[in-house]
Amino acid sequence: MLPIFLMIVSSTHTSSVISQQGLQFWPGTQASANFAQVARLEAGFTDQITALAMLKNSLVIAVSIASLTTVLSMMAAYAIVFFRFSVAGFLFWLTMLTLLLPLESRFVTTFQVAATLGLVNTFGGMVLPALAIALGTLFFRQLFLSFPNEYLEAAKLDGAGPVRFFWDFIVPLAWRRGGAIFVVSFMIGWNQYLWPLMLSTDESRYTVLRGIRLIGLESASGMALGVLTILPPLILVILFQRYFFQALVDTKDSF
């Protein structure tokens, strides 16, 4: 917490104090002026780089990645566990191998695919390559394996098909685990920097992390923007911390 504390406290001082004396340990009197300066920010050749626009872009990317990752991970685990086809185990471990190949290690080929599909300077291009988060599939698979077989048998007796079984049985039992995956995926999407930087040249697609790099953390306004950057994920964790930790450490609450 010390770096966060230093950033918050330093955002209340002037840029000259930060550049000359370094990070501060005691609050200053320039907080309102610094945050007002960030709110009035208009940068770039077309003045489209504003704090509100960057926060909106980061929020769109993070929410899209979190929502789609949660849904895709749940559906993938559902297919692997309950459909029981012969190559299910192979596909699962093949999915786990993607943990060894993060997005940063395949920038060149991923950019080529995105450019071929016309996804450069689009939210779709920033979101789609980040959806393959194997950790979500792993968490959902372990949860589904702990479900009693009586659930599937009851669904068959009730005449439920695969879609109804998924929607009426699996989703209600897995929503807490889904909330945990949503929080983790939101963090990953919110902290995206290198991929949006590589894919986007449009100033209207700037994210808050690129904005911090643009302004510079050694300035008071950069510190203030950094404080604004940590607020959305911090609020999300505070609101869902109970469900987040329960879903990760205890599966009995689902039954």
Query: How far, in Å, CA of 230 to CA of 58, rounded?
Result: 12
pLDDT for 250: 57
Superfamily of domain 2-254: MetI-like (1.10.3720.10)
Note the pLDDT tens digit of each residue in 42-83.
776 777 788 888 899 999 999 999 999 999 999 999 998 888
pTM of the model as a whole: 0.84
Which sequence spans correspond to the domains of the chain? 2-254
SS3 content of the chain, % helix, strand, coil (to 5): 75, 0, 25
pLDDT for 255: 44
Query: How far, in Å, CA of 102 to CA of 105, rounded?
Result: 6
Residue numbers in the chain where pLDDT is lower than 70: 44, 243, 246-255
Rounded to the nearest 10 degrees, the angle between the axes of helix 220-249 and helix 2-10 is 150
pLDDT for 249: 63
Assess contact for 81 and 166: CB atoms under 8 A.
no
Of all residues in the chain, the percent with pLDDT exceeding 70 is 94
Query: Beta partners for 43?
Result: 49
Query: Beta partners for 49?
Result: 43
Assess contact for 110 and 103: CB atoms under 8 A.
yes
170-204 burial: b if 16+ Cβ within 10 Å, else e:
beebbebbbbbbbbbbbebbbebeebbebbbeebe
